[in-house]
Amino acid sequence: MAVKSRLDLKLSDRVDIVYHLFRDEKISFLIDKLDNRAVSGFQKFLWEKTVEFGIVCRGKNFDRKEVTRKMTPTPVFQLQQRCTQSVYNCKGTHCLHINPKCARKKIKEHIDVMAESIRGYIRSVKQRQLF
């Protein structure tokens, strides 16, 4: 039970995410069925997996910036959405409660970027190990 409260994401949802990643399928649609706490847990879980896969595949050459540079910077995203909230609210999970539609849009973009990175790491491992 401690794991669920840490991630706010059920084990079945985490397995579903990994399943879709290994099948080279999109996963951002999975957040549509989740409540706000689980959406936050989804994002945290995927960051953990992105870092884990990145370290396994890239070793010391892995840098989180190789993933984050593909994401729309928060101030740019806010301008695009015509958002007047502080940048802090957009970066944190506050916006999930203030403007869930906008927050989920941003999180989906991040999820797509992280998932593509993970799928790339998986492909590189498969090619090396030929399985």
Segments forming the whole domain that contains residue 34: 2-129
Over the range 58-77, which residues count as b (16 or more CB within 10 Å of their CB) and which as e?
eeeebeeeebeeeeeeeeeb
| Residue-by-residue pLDDT tens, the chain, 131 positions | 444 444 589 999 999 999 999 999 999 999 999 998 899 999 999 999 999 999 988 888 888 898 999 999 999 999 999 988 888 878 767 888 888 899 999 999 999 999 999 999 888 887 777 54
Domain count, the chain: 1
This prediction has a pTM of 0.85
Token pair 């989740």: residue: 34
